[in-house]
Amino acid sequence: MRLVSYNVSGGLDPAAVGRILAAEQADVVCLTEIPPAGRLRSIARAAGLDIVVRAGRRGTGTAILASGSVRVRATDLVPLTTPRDVPSRQASHAIIGVGGLGLSVTAVQFGLRPEVRRTNLDELLDYLDSIEQPSVIGADLNESIRSPVAAGLAARLQDAHAVAGTGAGLTYPTSDPSTRQDFVFVDPSLTVHRAAVLVDPPVDVASHHRPVVVDLEGHDGGGEPAG
């Protein structure tokens, strides 16, 4: 299974985002900072994907897109607690089936305040503890790998880039990246074959972030490889 995690900067260039996703032939896409509904639909159409679930507001919202080969079993919106003076956020969640593999997929963007991010991490992990399927999270952490939220996620899940990526994997800002802010975290039961940060055009104009592409493999209920 191929998954892309991408902060699209509120739909900075929907056509370019659509071309990038179409070229990658992703099975599942976790989007953060999604654009208004019309632009989101344009991205999905250009990529040949369906909108599975969307959550939150324009600019801070999240969405999960999927190809026609993905079976969607359930969707949910996961509210994340925020103070009144901070934009509200929600994670998008879906339980899907791909080639016999059942997965829990979450698209999430954590906020700008460190103390709020830590609270939201606890909320998200509590929610995912109630889900039986192996978890995959596409996230914009708004912090680097050395920070508390990244460490908290990496303690429970595989950091896909750390497992199968090359180089520093920097994702932000697009023009001259200085930090790895965008991540894919994967259940330990899954195999990460590839993790890459895309750099070729039109990545340079599509968003303020670079997309992360991860190829995964798991096992179905009968123990056969699937993905």
Q: What is the mean pLDDT of residues 65-75?
A: 97
Q: Is the pLDDT reported for residue 99 higher than 90?
A: no
pLDDT in the model for residue 226? 44
pLDDT in the model for residue 221? 45
Correct CATH for 2-219 of 3.30.830.10, 1.10.3260.10, 3.40.50.720, 3.60.10.10: 3.60.10.10
With residue 125 as reference, give the H or E element that holds it: helix 114-129
Structural domain boundaries of the chain? 2-219
Compute the mean pLDDT over every residue in the chain, rounded to the nearest whole number.
Answer: 93
Q: Is the pLDDT reported for residue 192 higher than 80?
A: yes
Tell if the pTM clears 0.85, that is, is over it: yes
Residues 6+ apart with CB under 8 A from 167: none
Q: Per residue in 140-180, pLDDT tens? A: 999 888 889 999 999 999 999 999 999 999 999 999 999 99
Query: How far apart are the C-alpha atoms of 155 and 158, rounded to whole Å?
Result: 8
Residue 22 has a CB neighbour count (10 Å cut-off) of 15
Percent of the chain scoring above 70 in pLDDT: 96
Residues 6+ apart with CB under 8 A from 179: 144, 170, 171, 172
Q: Is the pLDDT reported for residue 219 higher than 70?
A: no
Q: What is the mean pLDDT of residues 102-125?
A: 94
Query: How far apart are the C-alpha atoms of 93 and 105, rounded to whole Å?
Result: 6
Q: Is the pLDDT reported for residue 58 higher than 80?
A: no
Categorize the per-residue pLDDT at 222 as very low, low, confident or very high, splitting at 50, 70 and 90.
very low
